Amino acid sequence: MDIQELIENFELFDDWEDKYRYLIDLGEHLPQLPPALHSEEWKVSGCQSQVWLVPDVIEEAGKKLINFRGDSDAAIVKGIIAIVLSIFTHKTPQQIKEIEVENIFAKLGLSEHLSPSRRNGLGAMTEKIRYYASIL
């Protein structure tokens, strides 16, 4: 699902419960990350739950694009990962650098996940994605 579609879906909910149920649902539908990739190497530190992000570089029409896969042991964070992936996956490193996640999460009505305590690691995930974009 692309991010525009997600924003439209989130606009349909007027209470937090429905929003969170949908978020959890998004997480449940995230493609499985193979167990071997649940390793220290792909772990994002700075999250209260365990979070893994795996970048895959591909070439398309002579352009370098990065796809991401991800997982978490916590359900709501897994939903957040699903959103993060739909924001960042299949983009060029330059596009990744320019995306403003804050705006998107505000539009989704999930701004509380931007809190600087990084309790859910959204900040840490974004940093890690930008880091991969800068080195790959």
Partner 1 sequence: MYDINEIRKDFPILNIQINGKPNTFLDTAASAQKPQCVIDTLVRVYSGTYANVHRGSYYLSEQITGLYEQAREIIKTFINAASSHEIIYTRNATEAFNLIAYSWGRNFLKTGDEVLISEAEHHANLIPWQILRDELGIKLKIFKIANDGSYIEDEYLKLLNEKTKLVSVTAMSNVLGTVFPIKKMVSQAHKVGALFAVDACQYAVHRQIDVQDWDCDFLAFSGHKTYGPSGVGVLYGKMSVLEQMLPYQVGGDMVDTVSFEHTTYALPPSRFEAGTPAIVDAIALGSALKYMMNIGWARLEAHEQDLIVYASQQLQEIAGLKIIGTAPDKGGVFSFDLNGIHAQDVAFILDKEGVSIRTGHHCAEPLVKRMGYNSLARASIGLYTSREDIDRFIQALYKVSSFF
| Contact set with partner 1 (CB under 8 A) | 16-17, 20-21, 24, 48-50, 73-77, 119-120
Q: Minimal distance in Å, beta carbon 121 to partner 1?
A: 9
Q: 107 vs 119, which CB is nearer to partner 1?
A: 119
The number of residues making up the chain comes to 136
SS3 string of 7-28? HHHHHCCCCHHHHHHHHHHHHH
- Of 27 and 55, CB closest to partner 1: 27
CB of 51 to partner 1, least distance (A): 11
Catalytic residue among 6, 26, 47, 87: 47
Nearer to partner 1, 15 or 60 (CB): 15
DSSP string for residues in 108-134:
HT-GGGG-TT-TT-HHHHHHHHHHHHH
Determine what percent of the chain falls in helix, strand and coil, rounding each to the nearest 5.
55, 15, 30
User: Is 74 marked active-site?
Assistant: no
For residue 45, give the 3-state DSSP assignment: coil
CB of 36 to partner 1, least distance (A): 19
3-state secondary structure (DSSP) of residue 119: coil
> Which residue numbers are catalytic?
47
